[in-house]
């Protein structure tokens, strides 16, 4: 069976609306003979006369009356599909976005982000997920809209990204800890007991290579899965946590923070998304709000 000529839908819609070959021809800027041929084609395709002569005019057949509203809706929907998207109105937007982030992002940047979204788009809801690994599968399959983190070689090469801010690692101990007083040295840092953070990738992998290049190593007595857990241990013990400064600013509010006594490069935290969302106006709007909140 050959595919139907969908252009005939527009012709049928105009014919049924005008009830006249001549008026329909003028509306579609066709000659009367071309419109007559189109009507003949429609009669052939539908197996119905559609418009029947009555005196000097034409009247719709029962089948034409039955399909008139449906044809009009189909044409209207087709025009909408093939037209440029309307300018986004955040105030009328109703949508849930899922963001996958690391420890500290919600605590440090969430309030500002929610304030901006609440003011512009009260119908938008955010769903924050913890980021346990660097798998970009959730961005590809659409279960996650946005992700924050380091750009690493193992991530999907097709992902889009935008830098949010630069961060650096700092050492953290409880107030009253021996390391909270006096000048910090490499020997003092190495002599303490440490809470390590182990995840697939992440800024924490900068520590051990830097120490190895100096021919030393720190004493890690416990390993946890996130920065918040490392800080919780440091708060209630003599353990040292080494964490990103900006990501954990609020989480470190009641703790003593010191600069690491060895050189480490800072690193960029980026916003990541899948290219299929590049042109989505609502998604683009949310990306801009995240950038503002992290600015």
Domain layout of the chain by residue ranges: 7-81, 90-166+268-294, 169-265
For domain 90-166+268-294, give the CATH superfamily: Periplasmic binding protein-like II (3.40.190.10)
Predicted local distance difference test score (pLDDT) of residue 180: 95
Beta strand 240-244 with 169-174: parallel, antiparallel or unpaired?
Answer: antiparallel
Predicted local distance difference test score (pLDDT) of residue 67: 87
Predicted local distance difference test score (pLDDT) of residue 202: 45
CATH 1.10.10.10 fits 7-81, yes or no: yes
- Rounded Cα distance between 223 and 31, Å, is 81
Residue 237: closest CA among 178, 292, 168, 166: 178
In CATH, which of 3.40.50.10420, 3.30.420.10, 3.40.50.720, 3.40.190.10 is domain 169-265? Answer: 3.40.190.10
User: Does residue 148 contact residue 272 with C-beta atoms inside 8 Å?
Assistant: yes
Predicted local distance difference test score (pLDDT) of residue 74: 87
* Burial group, residue 82, by CB count within 10 angstroms (0-12, 13-18, 19+): exposed
- Tens of pLDDT along the chain (295 residues)? 466 777 888 998 888 888 888 888 998 889 989 989 999 999 998 899 988 988 777 888 999 888 888 888 888 888 777 766 678 899 999 999 999 998 789 989 999 999 999 999 999 999 999 887 777 788 888 899 999 988 776 666 778 999 999 999 999 999 999 999 999 999 999 999 999 988 654 445 689 899 999 999 999 999 998 889 999 999 999 999 999 999 899 999 999 999 999 999 999 999 999 988 888 899 999 999 999 999 8
- Sequence-ordered list of residues with C-beta below 8 angstroms from that of 55, at least 6 positions apart, any chain: none
- Rounded Cα distance between 219 and 31, Å, is 89
- Rounded Cα distance between 281 and 288, Å, is 11
Helix (H) or strand (E) holding 97: strand 95-101
- Rounded Cα distance between 147 and 219, Å, is 32
Q: Scan for tokens 């089948």, then name that residue.
A: 63
**What pTM value is reported for the model?**
0.69
User: Does residue 16 contact residue 71 with C-beta atoms inside 8 Å?
Assistant: yes
Q: Do 169-265 and 7-81 have the same topology in CATH? A: no
């Amino acid at each position: 069976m050959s595919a139907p000529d969908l252009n005939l839908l527009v012709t049928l819609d105009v014919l049924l609306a005008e009830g006249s070959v001549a008026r329909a021809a003028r509306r579609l800027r066709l000659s009367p003979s071309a419109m007559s041929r189109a009507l003949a084609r429609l009669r052939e395709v539908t197996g119905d006369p559609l418009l029947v002569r009555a005196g000097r005019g034409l009247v719709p057949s029962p089948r034409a009356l039955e399909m008139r509203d449906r044809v009009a809706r189909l044409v209207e929907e087709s025009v909408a599909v093939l037209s440029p998207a309307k300018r986004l109105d955040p105030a009328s937007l109703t949508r849930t976005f899922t963001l996958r982030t690391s420890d500290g992002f919600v605590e440090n940047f969430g309030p500002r982000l929610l304030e901006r979204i609440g003011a512009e788009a009260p119908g938008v809801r955010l769903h924050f997920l913890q980021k346990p690994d660097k798998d970009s599968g959730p961005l590809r399959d659409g279960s996650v809209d946005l992700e924050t983190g380091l750009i690493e070689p193992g991530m999907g090469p097709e992902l889009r990204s935008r830098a949010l801010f630069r961060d650096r690692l700092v050492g953290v101990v409880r107030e009253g800890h021996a390391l909270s007083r006096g000048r910090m040295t490499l020997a003092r840092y190495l002599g303490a007991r440490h809470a390590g953070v182990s995840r697939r990738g992440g800024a924490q992998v900068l520590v051990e290579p830097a120490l190895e290049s100096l021919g030393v190593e720190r004493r890690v007595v416990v390993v946890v899965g996130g920065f918040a857990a490392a800080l919780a241990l440091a708060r209630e013990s003599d353990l040292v946590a080494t964490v990103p400064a900006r990501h954990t600013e609020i989480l470190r509010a009641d703790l003593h923070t010191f600069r690491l006594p060895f050189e480490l490069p800072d690193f960029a935290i980026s916003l990541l998304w899948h290219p299929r969302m590049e042109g989505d106006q609502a998604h683009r709007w949310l990306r801009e709000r995240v950038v503002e909140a992290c600015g």
